[in-house]
Amino acid sequence: MRISIIIPAHNEASYLSACLNSFVAQTHTPDEVIVVDDNSSDATFKIASDYSEKFNWIKVLQRKSVDEHVPGKKVVDTFNFGLKHTSDHDLIGKFDADIILPPNYFETMLNHFQSNWKLGMCSGLLYIKKGEDWVYENIADKNHIRGPIKLYHKACFNKIEGLRQGVGWDTVDVLLSKYHDFETLTDSSLPVRHLRPTGHGYSTKNYQVKGEALYKMRYGLVLTKMAALKMAWQTNNMLLYFQILKGYFKAVFSQVPRFVTKEEGAFIRKQRLTGIWKKLRKYLYFLPNNSSR
């Protein structure tokens, strides 16, 4: 299986060398890694170019875009720019420039894809630095394939029609892969170091965009409220609950285009509600009154 990896990078000079070193150190290196420098004002392009000169499977592209930070859309647009320049591949990856992979990452990924023909997406788990320790970045369930380390089988990627251009793209792709009967897998034996925690630099406006994304994924009001409450709790900021709902209702009144069809939306709601019910049952089972079961 041929592996092509695209790394969208905007002002990643502080992290890029460590990231690319982890690619170089792989027991099975990808067939190509394409670093797309998206309008950087630091040394990102130079660092990537230095690696490209040393390793012929590392390529560098430059993309000119607006300086404005556009959550979700900008990184997907940069990825799609790189996608146009990929060689023939069986597995396609969208990876961030601020991660450090364990040395056996792609060797293990290949084993998973080769042993399961229904596997559509696969990844390790993200860990962040807290004090002297690396701990799981607990903003998503451990069975969710996170945005910085997305690896798709080409058949799955084509079936879901690529990545949606906006916040929520790294959730809707997992749900759509399941809709099309592909399996997803996260391997807990592959800890990936995330050098810059998710949400760094998030503003109030960004959280309103999250509410818009929930509308685009056809969550409906009940699920949107649940998701907003979870995000607010994780960030320990209840004001974000109202910002997310504000973004959702703005999208409702503006009738912004959806990410998914009605049929796909119904499947997504069913998937989400089933997951919530399973967690609730597990929680109730382990309450003190049930401890003797």
Predicted confidence at residue 43, as pLDDT, reads: 96
Q: Is residue 142 part of a domain?
A: yes
Q: List average pLDDT for each run of 10 residues in the chain, which is 293 residues long.
A: 96 97 98 96 96 97 78 90 96 98 98 97 97 91 94 97 92 95 97 85 68 93 90 83 93 93 94 82 64 48
142 and 63 within one domain: yes
- Cα separation of 245 and 233, whole Å? 14
185 and 62 within one domain: yes
Predicted confidence at residue 239, as pLDDT, reads: 87
Predicted confidence at residue 207, as pLDDT, reads: 75
With the C-alpha atoms ordered 64, 6, 147, 45, is the resulting torsion angle positive or negative? negative
189 and 208 within one domain: no
Q: Is 249 helix (H, G, I), strand (E, B) or coil?
A: helix
- Cα separation of 162 and 181, whole Å? 16
232: amino acid identity, one letter: A
For 165, residues 6+ apart whose C-beta sits below 8 A from its C-beta are: 72, 73, 76, 77
Q: Which domain holds residue 269?
A: 204-285
Predicted confidence at residue 72, as pLDDT, reads: 78
Predicted confidence at residue 293, as pLDDT, reads: 47
Predicted confidence at residue 283, as pLDDT, reads: 61
- Cα separation of 177 and 158, whole Å? 10
Q: Is 234 helix (H, G, I), strand (E, B) or coil?
A: helix
Cα 101 to Cα 107, 182, 284, distances in angstroms? 12, 25, 37
65 and 189 within one domain: yes
What's the predicted TM-score (pTM) here?
Answer: 0.89
225 and 182 within one domain: no
Predicted confidence at residue 57, as pLDDT, reads: 97
- Cα separation of 147 and 135, whole Å? 18
Predicted confidence at residue 292, as pLDDT, reads: 47
Q: Which residue has the tokens 């990643």?
A: 12
Give the residue from 198, 203, 175 showing the smallest Cα distance to 266: 175
208 and 184 within one domain: no
Domain count, the chain: 2
